[in-house]
Chains A and B, each alone.
Chain A
């Protein structure tokens, strides 16, 4: 079991460029999430999905788009990167609602730098 895997691990972009981060999970989880982690600000939710074909906005969605065409994959897109999007991005997945469904399983993170 690989768990949650993210690609790429590192990326440097110039302002205005676009890119897509890919997240894949092999645990058959219904819910998937994209967080960004910045120093002193904890983990902030960008977008999430409660099932294949669904997406929803989190706390900081501006400048990002997502898609969940397959249950196991959750893509995060930056259409026109800005320096403020320099961050470490974590994908996570979890079971659907109900008892014992609180645990987030994180990927290893993707460090993005926008120049």
Chain B
């Protein structure tokens, strides 16, 4: 089955700096890569996703890049703000949908004021 590794497990940045979280996946057939944000004590929520026919996708301060050859994808957050502090999970899917999602182990991002 699919295996997703996520790094780093914890990340601290100063407010206004950029943050980058990286994930690698094992199955080259995976074709859908979402990112979820989970604030403390809350439910995970989708913040951005990318499909394998696209190399990069951006939504305001967040962007995701995908390198299919190397089998890795990354989340980029620019101009970080305290409300960006949360746990971020990457995931990969073989089905192109949520049905076969495998999650990474999560990254605790702390934005220091």
Q: In A94-115, which residues have CB < 8 Å from any B CB?
A: 94-98, 101-104, 106-109
Chain A interface (Cβ < 8 Å from any Cβ of B): 31, 33, 40-45, 48, 50, 59, 90, 92, 94-98, 101-104, 106-109
Which residues on B are within 8 Å of A, measured CB to CB?
1, 6, 9, 32, 34, 36, 42-46, 49, 89, 93, 95-99, 101-106
B residues near A92, Cβ cutoff 8 Å: 98
5 smallest A-B Cβ distances: which pairs?
Answer: A94-B98, A106-B43, A42-B103, A101-B97, A43-B103
- Report B-chain residues with C-beta under 8 Å of the C-beta of A94: 97-99
A98 B43 Cβ-Cβ under 8 A = no
State the main secondary structure of chain A at its contact with B: loop
Closest CB-CB distance, B105 to chain A, in whole Å? 4
- Beta-carbon contact of B89 and A106 below 8 Å: no
- Give the distance to chain A from B18, nearest Cβ to Cβ, in Å: 24
Complexed CA–CA distance, A42 and B7 (Å) = 12
